[in-house]
Structure 1
Amino acid sequence: MDEFGKLRDQVKNALSEFGYKKPTPIQSQAMPKILEGKNSLLMASTGTGKTEAALFPVFSQYLEENKEKGIKILYIAPLRALNRDMLKRLQRWEGTLDIDIQVRHGDTSKSQRRNQALEPPQMLITTPETLQAILPGSRMKEHLKSVEWVIVDEVHELAQSKRGTQLSIGLERVARLSGDFQRIGLSATVGSPKKVARFLAGTDREMEIIDTTSTEKMSVNVESPMPNSRDVELSDRLNAKPTMIARLRRIKELIDEHDSTLTFVNTRKSSETLGSRLRYWDSDYPVAVHHGSLSKDSRISAEDNFREGKLKGLICTSSMELGIDIGNIDFVIQYKSPRQVNRLIQRFGRSGHRIESISNGTIITSDPEDVAEAGVIAKKALSRELESTTIHENSLDVLAHQLVGINLDGVSNIEKAFQLVKRAHPYRNLPKEEFSEVFRQILNQGLVWKDGEEFSHGRKSYQYYYTNLSTIPDTKQYQIQDLVSHKSIGTLDEEFVVGQAEPGVTFICKGEAWRVVEVEDDKVEVEPVDDPYGAIPAWEGELIPVPFEVAHEVGKMRSTVENALERNKNLEEIRERIENNYPIDQNSSEWFIKQLRNHLEEAPVPTPKKLVIESYEKFGVLHAPFGTIVNKTLGQILAALISTRIGSSVGLKSDPYRIAFRFPEKEQTEALRKTIDDLKPEFVEPLLKKVLENSSVFRWRLLHVAKRFGAIEKDADFSEIRGRGLLKFFEGTPLWKEAEREVRLEKMDVSRLAELLESLQEGEIELKCVERSRNEGPTPLGLSILNELASSGEIVVPERAEKEILRVLKRRLSNRQVRLFCLNCRDWSTLTRVRRLSNEPTCDNCGAKFLALVPRKKGDRLKALKRREEGKTADEDEKNFIRRAKESGNLILTYGKKAVIAMAGRGIGPQTATRILAKQHKNEEDFYRDILRAERIYARTHRFWDS
């Protein structure tokens, strides 16, 4: 076992016993550095042994230390699943090294936690949040004084989130207790290794970067399966388009050709779609679905069955990106573009460790633009051009929480707390004034008390600290209710509701289009609509943003093809050039070229140096290949300016390559060109502040920042405090500043947008305009976003779809239970369904037609009618009830069953029913159409009525 160098013999003997013959490249390079006691960032793909590269030398050093009571090794992983997996992998070391290894996280039982407090393990595997929970504990705090090694797994994931920001201060709090310790980070390939290393090291510590990713080989190709005759036949049976079947067929072929395959998709919906279609095709096909919304038992079962070879494949989202041990994987499929280089490398890095460290995978694309994007990402992955890492600098809500935690730890001096915070890398440049603002905020909220330069805590401090251990927002689910049928059709995430679901917006759920009528409490009321321009997918919020660099190169690919086509190069020459530069197969490159050739026949091809405005009917499309965040930022600013210019709101939809607007009138599309001409780079910053204030996304972020600050209750939801009240209350506070910082970092790219506008102003980027008539239709590149643009106003519903809507309405009203009461004899009432009534309902007791429609639970209200006849006084509510009862009775007397049908509509009382019934309807459909219109009005306005 000489290959394992200076490790202690006890560790070497164990390695021999466990079957380790020689170290992997990351182990060879990392172990000597760690044995020297150096802080180290280890970078290698999943499955290359980087965890062992950290643990073997740590175990070796542990054997040399005294065995005093306390936690010596702290292993921090971002997922509980990784904790469980790590414990399984390490249990065999316990007897060999005489070391107690335990896990502690949110699922750990009270008895286990109590035992750990009394008899701590020498190695504790935990999560960032659980570390926060144990730091102030009187006994666990004592055990943490023994920490000598901290290993942070998946540090690249943590570094980019507020969880990591919180952890960075948490590690400094541990260091205050134990003195400094050796820090080791484990990471897949990242775009900014030095930044991640500094994040883990904190201020004034050296960090070695040990990176073996450059020696790891990757094989990747982009495919676009085209449907054949068998796919067409199969499409009917599987209820999917032939193009989808072709992709499914190719996925099945690749799974069959390999022993164990991960198929990555970008959304939960896609994983369920692929999984269900494969099961329809072959009910015994050995694959399972794996994503974060499934139950823990379902996920663990899928992982175990895959590891044991009972399954040949998993169809998974990012839930499988991190290093959960599921055995050897020899192939990875990416379904549709992975949208980021980091994602592709992380996902493909999960394969190939049995075949000389070659990661093998294929990207299956779905359309020509997907081809180009996947090709660019694959090329960048092969040349290791990754996206840079972004870190949350000076996060104020995390600071507020940590200040309380630091005080609970026993630090009572304000200046010492400030200096401790600044030792964490994200806060190294924290201005004292910002620190003081946050301190004043938590002081005013009663979370801490101040006495001169000292501060202390009370019961409220503990409650706040322990209920805000997680920085991940608790998002609620909204029920989607069909206005027509009153049935629940699914759920929407809070972020989608806040960011997208304004009244009038159309979205897709379960394959159908729905228009939002009202958002109220925990419910979104919708109506079915056949939108010829499509709608927003309800799961869109899951999509990974496409970086500027990727979209920009897709634009350059277009430019290359456009220039070749204009020089009359033939398809084969252009195809060969693309395939020489990008790992794209023949079908894919031809598909991409042909789409651009078709587009060029109708309009200029948009490129980074040539933007195109396409006007079609009430739509304007700005073709701009600048990525998800730049386009979203530009779109929000343009929409705000255009709305001011035309005096009316416009619909907005953006993607990495286009920004589309829907105008109230066709003639207003020219406003897009004028607005771009007038937009100066120096206007961006002030405009953005205005856009932010009016943004529902900003309000949603502010809500969650306020929760993390403890300024509002943890279980408060957006529907209770939506609107501008939240803004006014927190304007000018650190909460506002933090919400703005968070949105700017994650959702906006102001500096790059300003650069682009400057290039546009100086003529470095030209702007072309194209008018498209109804007969011509949108251009090939414009059609895709117009098929996704939400309708922001009324549209003409095709007759067939409207008939179906009215049919559902009619069925629902006919099944409605109603109670009729005879206003003539006052001794008869009946509870029945509308469909059972005759056209001229009469009292079974006296035969009169003067019947009132009353609440189904008659209670004391009917007694009020009788008391009134006896000359007794009635209160105001009873008077209103009597009046409405007589009004409904007059309608039924005049219109019979038709009046009952009208008043069976939701929110339709006698007055509204009178207006509907008084109309001269040409046919029954017109009658039901008016009822539906009245229900819509009620749904949109009833929350504003006086109760």
Structure 2
Amino acid sequence: GEIIAFSFDDILESVALIKRTEEGLLEEKRPREKPIIVLVNQILAMVLSEKSLDVGRLYALLRRSRPFRKLRFKELMEVIEFLKSLRILSYDPTGGTIRSTRRTRTYFYSNISMIPDERSYKLKDLPSGRLVGQLDEKFVASFIAPGARFILYGRVWEVVSVEEDSILISPVAGSGEIPNWVGEDIPVDFHVAQDVGRLREDLEGVVRGTSSLDEVSRKWGVEEGVLKAPFEIVKKQVEEGLVVPTHRRVTVEEGNEEVIINACVGTEVAEALSKIVAGELQEEGIGGVMVEIDPYRIVLRSAFRVRGKDVVRILLGMAPSNLRHKLTKYLSSSMLFRWQILHVAKKIGIVDREVSLRDLNMNRLIERLEGTIAYREAIERILQERMDIRNTTRFLKRIERGEIEVHLQRSSPIGLSYRDARRELLYSGADERTILAIIEKRLEVTPLTMVCLACQRRWRASAGGGAPLQCPVCSSRRVAALHPMDYERMEKHLQRRDFASLSRSDRKRLSLSADLVMAHGRDALLVLAGRGVGPTEAARILSFPHENREELLKAIRKAEITYARNRQFWS
């Protein structure tokens, strides 16, 4: 087969993977130790089958299985006491036995699957009003907030607002925007990333004249042409007087808007390091640190300036023995932890399966569960499934011993190469004109109810249609245009032709709408067709001179986004 590589990192990673595969060096599997949810499931299965179960015998059986071979008796009793407190089973301390309760069977069959119970959120495109996809709850909990950007169908989207079961999004114009999140790739192993660092070092040797590209190519088992493009980047790095990050060198690069830690450590070690660095910066008063990782770098951004020398100090000061404690501390305030503890709480029976993150006071739930097996299980799941604690510890020990150098420098070709790789992934067709054309099409076909303020006659019209803008009965030009949302609220009164029973504010809205239609014709209809753009906002938009229709559509789009973001705060 053939490997299609898009970037500097991809090429070197592919070479490293092929060589390791040929040498039989496969990635090590790390099964979870003592998974509490599985333990709960197993205890209840055995209780249901045997009705009364001796705890000592249960402990002996569990210890014979690989996942629970290190389980301590104290830990088992914690789980039993916790289940007893939820009345999922009963425990007799005198006889040392556990029994099922009325809740046991219901709980067991409701939670027999180990797959997380996740809701999905529909994605609605603001310009067109169409459903364009969906996101699972884990991603929403970990990342989604108004203003966040992500990639869907090769296009960058921005979150406008989050509703009960849907998320309103809008495409970002232009192809140069780099999103905060681009997907969750298969993690790159620590040893693969270290080999990429070794290959970078070999290419640096070619630049410095200690070996040839032919020698390096033969060493790694590839044709010389494969390494030509990455060699040019390494060469540029050296020619600019910059340190090449390898398996033995970490560089911290300070740019205008970001600090990049270049470290060939793989996805899961980078994840662990990033949590500690961001957490330490937060404690030092640098709030709102946004983190982006890949197997070879950690990118740090903040509204407050992140200084490279502070990052170097944090890296050099990380104590390997304190790693787990620090990670537990910083993870407990993360959105990922909130989702994980909700999943655990559902599986253990603390909260209902149908409950979502937005239905709960998560701060209160976390406070209630702190110090319990549920809290520890949520932390352990993240540590064991998302991070490589063992190799992170080894990496920090090598820094401590001086085996790995940490250098501070300006932005470099290798450090910034991730940006080019990202841009290759983005669909360039999402320009602003395309977005505005979609909005215009929707606005032109949105049905509006026309109401004559003179004789109270009603009829349907749209900005793009040919229906008259004066009353077909009395020829009055005092005609209001109502968006479906407004008409729904006034419908009863308008059907009875009883304007007097309308509220004072609704009568004012009708009058202002009629003034706009009389003054601006179909442009007024176009603006009033916007979601959440009532007569007051429409009057503000139309009061400004717009050079062309495109400028008018931009103003409508801005008003729609403002409404979508703020309507949850309006009565």
Q: Name the TM-score, length of structure 1 as normaliser.
A: 0.54
RMSD: 3.4
Distance 1:737 1:599 in 2: 45
- Equivalent in 410, 413, 418 of residue 784 of structure 1: 418
- Equivalent in 206, 211, 214 of residue 564 of structure 1: 206
Give the aligned partner of residue 372 of structure 2. Answer: 733
- Equivalent in 223, 226, 234 of residue 588 of structure 1: 226
Give the aligned partner of residue 18 of structure 2. Answer: 378
Corresponding position: 1:396 with 2:24 = no
- Equivalent in 897, 911, 919 of residue 536 of structure 2: 911
Give the aligned partner of residue 675 of structure 1. Answer: 311
Give the aligned partner of residue 699 of structure 1. Answer: 338
Per-residue CA deviations over 1:880-924 (Å, capped at 9, x if unaligned) read: 544544443444455443333223212222333333333344443
The aligned amino acid for 2:552 is F
1:836 match: secondary structure: coil
Corresponding position: 1:447 with 2:93 = no
CA deviation after TM superposition for structure 1 residue 783, in Å: 2.1
- Equivalent in 798, 804, 825 of residue 455 of structure 2: 825
Matches within 5 A, 1:552-631: 552-567=194-209, 569=211, 573-580=212-219, 582-602=220-240, 603-631=242-270
Distance 1:430 1:637 in 2: 28
Matches within 5 A, 1:829-840: 829-836=458-465
1:516 match: secondary structure: strand
Conserved in 1, the CA contact under 8 Å of 2:80 and 2:91?
Answer: no
Farther off after superposition, 447-456 or 597-606: 447-456
Distance 1:800 1:614 in 2: 32
Give the direction of change, closer, same or farther, for the CA distance of 1:568–1:425 in structure 2 (3 Å limit): closer
Distance 1:750 1:510 in 2: 34
1:932 match: secondary structure: helix
Give the aligned partner of residue 559 of structure 2. Answer: 934
Conserved in 2, the CA contact under 8 Å of 1:681 and 1:758?
Answer: no
The aligned amino acid for 2:313 is D
The aligned amino acid for 2:312 is I
Distance 2:397 2:237 in 1: 28
Corresponding position: 1:814 with 2:444 = yes
Distance 2:213 2:500 in 1: 94
1:525 match: secondary structure: strand
Matches within 5 A, 1:302-313: none
Per-residue CA deviations over 1:297-354 (Å, capped at 9, x if unaligned) read: xxxxxxxxxxxxxxxxxxxxxxxxxxxxxxxxxxxx3x64xxxxxxxxxxxxxxxxxx
- Could you tell me which runs of 5 or more consecutive residues in structure 1 were left unpaired when the two chains were aligned: 1-332, 337-363, 773-777, 790-797
Distance 1:380 1:887 in 2: 73
Give the direction of change, closer, same or farther, for the CA distance of 1:822–1:782 in structure 2 (3 Å limit): same
CA deviation after TM superposition for structure 1 residue 843, in Å: 2.2
Distance 2:543 2:83 in 1: 62
1:788 match: secondary structure: helix
Give the aligned partner of residue 130 of structure 2. Answer: 487
The aligned amino acid for 2:446 is R
CA deviation after TM superposition for structure 1 residue 863, in Å: 4.0
Conserved in 1, the CA contact under 8 Å of 2:159 and 2:167?
Answer: yes
- Equivalent in 489, 493, 502 of residue 864 of structure 1: 493
Distance 1:849 1:637 in 2: 67
Distance 1:763 1:782 in 2: 26
Give the aligned partner of residue 499 of structure 1. Answer: 142
CA deviation after TM superposition for structure 1 residue 820, in Å: 1.8
Conserved in 2, the CA contact under 8 Å of 1:615 and 1:771?
Answer: yes
Conserved in 2, the CA contact under 8 Å of 1:706 and 1:712?
Answer: yes
Give the aligned partner of residue 545 of structure 1. Answer: 187
Conserved in 2, the CA contact under 8 Å of 1:599 and 1:781?
Answer: no
2:431 match: secondary structure: helix
Give the direction of change, closer, same or farther, for the CA distance of 1:414–1:717 in structure 2 (3 Å limit): farther
Give the direction of change, closer, same or farther, for the CA distance of 1:475–1:428 in structure 2 (3 Å limit): same
Distance 1:645 1:939 in 2: 35
Give the direction of change, closer, same or farther, for the CA distance of 1:919–1:726 in structure 2 (3 Å limit): farther
Conserved in 2, the CA contact under 8 Å of 1:607 and 1:625?
Answer: yes
Conserved in 2, the CA contact under 8 Å of 1:831 and 1:856?
Answer: no
Conserved in 2, the CA contact under 8 Å of 1:368 and 1:588?
Answer: no
Conserved in 2, the CA contact under 8 Å of 1:522 and 1:719?
Answer: no
Conserved in 1, the CA contact under 8 Å of 2:181 and 2:292?
Answer: no
Give the aligned partner of residue 474 of structure 2. Answer: 846
Give the direction of change, closer, same or farther, for the CA distance of 1:722–1:851 in structure 2 (3 Å limit): farther
The aligned amino acid for 2:469 is P
Give the direction of change, closer, same or farther, for the CA distance of 1:642–1:890 in structure 2 (3 Å limit): farther
Give the aligned partner of residue 708 of structure 1. Answer: 347
CA deviation after TM superposition for structure 1 residue 397, in Å: 1.3
The aligned amino acid for 1:376 is A
Give the direction of change, closer, same or farther, for the CA distance of 1:685–1:448 in structure 2 (3 Å limit): closer
The aligned amino acid for 1:371 is I
Per-residue CA deviations over 1:195-216 (Å, capped at 9, x if unaligned) read: xxxxxxxxxxxxxxxxxxxxxx
How many pairs does the alignment contain? 560
- Could you tell me which runs of 5 or more consecutive residues in structure 2 were left unpaired when the two chains were aligned: none
1:486 match: secondary structure: coil
